[in-house]
Amino acid sequence: MSWIMLEYLCKAGHRLESLEDRREPSLSVQCTACKLRAERCVSAPRVKVPSFSVSTGRSEPPPPGAMSTRSIGDGQPINEWRAERKKLSNAARKAWISKELKL
């Protein structure tokens, strides 16, 4: 059995939610506030969309260890890019191991 949350709106303007069986959802229910018939309506999340800002000029540098895909966008084949990433990963791993062994 699967459940779905549905939203209903009555003629008086009250909104109510009801947990219904997904296989047999009701098209209308009785409003709990005014006892009128409430029809099923499309529900939308009530969220506030944050505004955004655009800045021109140079972007912030990527954090250390961030993966750069710029060369793929410039036309480098994916196999070459993966091989390059593997070399960088192996070099970082070897540096970490040698550092740990010196301690």
Does residue 2 carry a pLDDT above 90?
no
Question: Domain ranges in the chain?
Answer: 3-41, 70-102
- The verdict on pTM exceeding 0.75 is no
What's the CA gap between 22 and 5, in Å, rounded?
Answer: 9
Residue 60 structure tokens: 């912030």
Residue 50: Cβ within 10 Å count: 5
Q: What is the dihedral of CA 78, 84, 85, 90, to 10 degrees?
A: 150
Name the CATH code of domain 3-41 (choices 2.130.10, 2.60.40, 2.20.28, 2.40.10).
2.20.28
63 vs 1 pLDDT, higher one: 63
pLDDT digits (tens, 9 = 90+) for 49-103: 667 766 666 677 877 778 888 888 888 899 999 999 999 899 999 999 999 998 6
The pLDDT of residue 34 = 92
Strands (E), the chain: 3-10, 15-21, 28-30, 37-41
What's the CA gap between 49 and 47, in Å, rounded?
Answer: 6
